[in-house]
């Protein structure tokens, strides 16, 4: 269930990637994710995949945890693969029965897309695994700060994100507690017809919402007591600076793009 | 007669992850019918994990839980059935209220038991009486009540199932002294009138000493001490070494014993301390004469 999903969790550490500037990490992972979609051949995709695996090694996050994160989206991957397999009808026919026809084009397409999704998740989860939510939102705030010129409340948005991320584990805990309390009173969760199942959610969601509003009030009070008045003019405890690590990551990204473009040019396109 | 038994129960959270913790380690414990048991232990000792085993919210990874001699985890049906027979009231139960009236909220348990309307009405009203919920509150919204009233409504919600065993996790947490006394007196009144077995989890030694007959101390997922109130609280040093507090009066008396006064160590209320000290000085006085 929810508890087993590791996507979005933060694993503290002191690897090369952990020490990078959050802005550089954001730029690198977004760059790499775009790179996945620039790939048109298996060769270039292999390069991006290898780079992702290398990054995981450098981050010292065990592969086991990463695979656990993948488990949560396995359905999405399987469904996409199956759809690709049946709907792309280019190349030679491999199998044909009744209305279903599987072709080489469909097969290579579905493998290609599977790998794409997996690598995409690798890059994005690597970002959240190695960056604490606060430094992640800090990094975003700084990256988007030019938008302040057109009156986008970047600081407020970043604070909202920090608060949202902060409360995910709290609410997760609370759902568990409320579910147990209602089960102890004989609530039957996840059994019966769709309507019964939907009804069974009421005893869980009503207390959850009531408690969330209570928490929101308390937090708002606490923030006002500390004179929070929006992001305007706030200074920072930790000032972000780009270091050699970040410049190396930019270089790696540039080399990655160059490799992809060259490989795309010389090999046969899959998509 | 044994009503609840834990046989060599072991439970580990997050097995196979770096966050692995052994919450229960080969725990065996039996509760007699009609007993008033206090389970104490500091935070993270495994006491909450243990009580969640008693009504099949958690299944033991090793060992068995028996209710009246039957394994409660035999099937989904026995698991659901035992939840009506072993009523579990969690810490801060007021955060589980969800219905638009107090009456409906208390009736949630009986409704799940599949009782008819007359039965439900009887169960709700008697539970409300036991929990000290006044009749005029029954048609109010539970969200309009005060904290103490909400707590009592939530407790009534568990009592309404008329369980044979009532387990309460920190029933008085966060209440003022009067609210605390209130809750405990209604629990002991409930037990007297219905004759049901009551288990209270707490880290307030005073409360446990004042109301329970038997005390079970859990430490690091094991039963560290088990016995009647006198025998457990007389071992003040052991309790302190387990990171637990002892009742203030017990602390004072054990200090006096160390100073050479020959006193009965089983003291945990002011009244008992007064009695012990008076009889000690009387005896001493008589010897002098």
Domains of chain B: total: 2
> What pLDDT sits at residue A223?
92
Closest alpha carbon to A208 in A235, A178, A182:
A178
Which of B52, B95, B161 is nearest residue A185 as measured by Cβ atoms? B161
Residue A218 with chain B: CB contacts under 8 Å? none
* Amino acid B287: pLDDT: 65
Task: Return the residue matching tokens 């960056």.
Answer: A131
Query: How many CB pairs below 8 A link A and B?
Result: 58
Same domain, B227 and B139: yes
Q: Check whether residue B175 and residue B75 sit in a common domain.
A: yes
Residue pLDDT, tens place only, A119-163: 998 898 888 888 888 888 888 888 888 888 888 888 888 888 888
Most B CBs within 10 A among A10, A173, A184, A209, hence the mutation to make, goes to A184
Task: Kindly state the average pLDDT of the residues A76-94.
Answer: 83
Assess B143–A contact: CB distance below 8 Å, yes or no. Answer: yes
- Identify whether B242 is part of a domain: no
- Pairwise CB contact (< 8 Å): A186 & B161: yes
Tell whether pTM > 0.80. no
pLDDT band at residue A7 under the 50/70/90 scheme: low
CA–CA separation, A245 vs B32, rounded Å?
Answer: 66
Look up the CATH number of the domain holding residue B124.
3.40.50.300
Q: What is the ipTM of this complex?
A: 0.86
Integer Cα distance of B75 and B176 in angstroms: 42
pLDDT tens track, chain B, 289 positions = 889 999 999 999 877 666 778 899 999 999 999 999 999 988 888 888 999 999 999 999 999 999 999 999 988 889 989 999 999 999 999 888 999 999 999 999 999 999 999 999 999 999 999 999 999 999 999 999 988 899 999 999 999 999 999 999 999 888 888 888 889 999 999 999 999 999 999 877 888 888 899 999 999 999 999 998 888 887 888 888 888 878 888 888 888 888 888 888 777 778 888 888 888 888 877 765 5
Angle between helices A133-144 and A22-38 (to 10 degrees): 80
Mark which of B192, B210, B235 sits at the end of a domain: B235
Same domain, B197 and B277: no
Do both B83 and B28 map to the same domain? yes
> Do B56 and B13 share a structural domain?
yes
* Helical segments of A60-132, H only: 63-71, 74-87, 104-130
Q: Do B157 and A185 touch (CB under 8 A)?
A: yes
d(CA B4, CA B86): 9
Residue B188 sits in the same domain as residue B97: yes
* Binding-site residues on chain A for chain B (CB distance < 8 A): 174, 177-178, 180-188, 202-204, 206-207, 210-211
Return the pLDDT at A1.
Answer: 36
* Model confidence at A231: pLDDT above 70: no
Do residues B79 and B45 both lie within one domain? Answer: yes
Give the max Cα distance, chain B.
73
How many other C-beta atoms can be found within 10 angstroms of the C-beta atom of residue B258? 10
- Residues B130 and B210 both lie in one domain: yes
Q: Are B263 and B276 in contact (CB under 8 A)?
A: yes
Position B259 in a domain: yes
Bridge partners, B77 (sequence order): none
User: What range does the domain containing B286 cover?
Assistant: 247-289
Kindly determine whether residue A186 and residue B88, on different chains, have CB atoms separated by under 8 Å: no
In a shared domain, residues B38 and B132: yes
Residue A106 exposed, middle or buried by CB count within 10 Å (0-12, 13-18, 19+): buried
B91 and B165 together in one domain = yes
Considering the domain architecture, whether residues B136 and B96 belong to the same structural domain is answered as yes
- Asked whether residue B101 falls in the same domain as residue B166, the answer is yes
Q: What is the pLDDT of residues B105-133, one digit of tens each?
A: 999 999 999 999 999 999 999 999 999 99
Of B235, B265, B281, the one marking the end of a domain is: B235
Closest CA of chain A from B49, distance in Å: 12
């Amino acid at each position: 269930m929810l508890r087993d999903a590791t996507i979005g969790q933060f694993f503290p550490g002191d690897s090369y990637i952990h020490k990078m500037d959050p802005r550089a990490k954001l730029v690198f992972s977004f760059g790499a994710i775009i790179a996945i979609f620039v790939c048109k051949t298996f060769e270039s995709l292999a390069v991006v995949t290898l780079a992702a695996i290398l990054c995981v090694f450098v981050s010292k996050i065990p592969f086991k945890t990463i695979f656990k994160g993948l488990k949560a989206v396995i359905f999405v991957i399987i469904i996409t693969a199956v759809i690709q397999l049946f709907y792309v009808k280019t190349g030679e026919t491999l199998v044909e029965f009744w209305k279903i026809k599987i072709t080489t084009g469909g097969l290579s397409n579905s493998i290609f897309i599977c790998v794409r999704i997996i690598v995409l998740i690798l890059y994005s989860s690597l970002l959240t695994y190695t960056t604490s939510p606060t430094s992640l939102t800090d990094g975003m705030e700084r990256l988007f700060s030019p938008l302040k010129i057109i009156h986008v409340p970047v600081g407020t948005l970043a604070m909202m994100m920090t608060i949202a991320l902060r409360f995910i584990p709290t609410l997760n805990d609370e759902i568990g507690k409320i579910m147990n309390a209602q089960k102890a009173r004989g609530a039957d969760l996840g059994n019966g017809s769709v309507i019964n199942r939907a009804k069974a959610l009421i005893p869980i969601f009503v207390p959850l919402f009531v408690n969330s509003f209570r928490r929101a009030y308390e937090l708002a009070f606490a923030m006002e007591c500390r004179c929070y008045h929006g992001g305007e003019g706030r200074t920072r405890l930790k000032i972000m600076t780009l270091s050699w690590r970040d410049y190396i990551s930019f270089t790696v990204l540039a080399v990655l793009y160059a490799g992809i473009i060259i490989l795309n040019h010389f090999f046969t396109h899959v998509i | 007669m044994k009503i609840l038994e834990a046989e060599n129960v072991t439970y580990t959270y997050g097995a196979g992850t770096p966050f692995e913790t052994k919450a229960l380690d080969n725990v065996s414990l039996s509760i007699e019918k009609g007993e008033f048991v206090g389970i104490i232990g500091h935070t993270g000792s495994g006491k909450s994990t243990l009580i969640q085993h008693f009504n099949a919210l958690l299944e033991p990874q090793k060992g068995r839980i028996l209710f009246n001699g039957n394994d409660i985890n035999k099937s989904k049906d026995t698991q659901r059935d035992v939840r009506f027979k072993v009523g579990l009231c969690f810490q801060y139960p007021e955060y589980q209220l969800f219905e638009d009236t107090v009456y409906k909220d208390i009736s949630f348990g009986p409704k799940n038991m599949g009782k008819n309307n007359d039965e439900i009405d009887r169960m709700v009203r008697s539970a409300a009486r036991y929990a000290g919920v006044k009749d005029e509150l029954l048609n109010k919204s539970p969200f309009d009540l005060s904290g103490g009233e909400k707590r009592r409504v939530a407790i009534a919600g568990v009592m309404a199932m008329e369980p044979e065993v009532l387990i309460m996790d920190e029933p008085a947490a966060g209440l003022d002294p009067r609210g605390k006394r209130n809750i405990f007196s209604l629990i002991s009144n409930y037990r007297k009138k219905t004759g049901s077995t009551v288990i209270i989890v707490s880290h307030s030694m005073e409360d446990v000493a004042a109301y329970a007959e038997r005390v079970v101390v859990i430490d690091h997922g094991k039963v560290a001490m088990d016995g009647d109130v006198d025998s457990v609280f007389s071992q003040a040093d052991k309790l302190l070494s387990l990171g637990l507090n002892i009742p203030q009066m017990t602390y004072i008396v054990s200090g006096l014993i160390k100073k050479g006064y020959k006193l009965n160590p089983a003291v945990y209320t002011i009244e008992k301390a007064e009695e012990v000290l008076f009889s000690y000085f009387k005896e001493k006085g008589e010897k002098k004469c």
